[in-house]
Amino acid sequence: MSTILVPIIIVLVIMVIVSLVRGIVAFLNGARDDLNSDGTGPTPNQLLQNKMMFNRIKYQAAAVLVCALLLAMAR
């Protein structure tokens, strides 16, 4: 079973990193948009940043649960 869980953890960690990088890129692009916007609402980059950071949290939680399952099976 651990041979299945370890690759799942690796995939989840990669997904966390991808979401983090995409969120940071959206944040950097959003800072430029903030200077040019009229302030009436969130820009598309701000919405993307929010989505990516929420995805990062979901993937981290899933990775922690899989790690806890792996540790529970090891006992």
Q: Could you report the per-residue pLDDT of 35-72, keeping only the tens digit for each? A: 777 777 788 888 899 999 999 999 999 999 999 999 99
Which pLDDT score, from 0 to 100, does residue 2 have?
A: 77
**pLDDT surpasses 80 at 31:** no
Query: What pTM, to 2 d.p., does this model score?
Result: 0.82
Q: Which residues contact 52 (CB under 8 A, 6 or more apart)?
A: 19, 20, 22, 23, 26
**pLDDT surpasses 90 at 3:** no
Which pLDDT score, from 0 to 100, does residue 39 have?
A: 72
Alpha-carbon gap, residue 30 to 43, rounded angstroms: 7
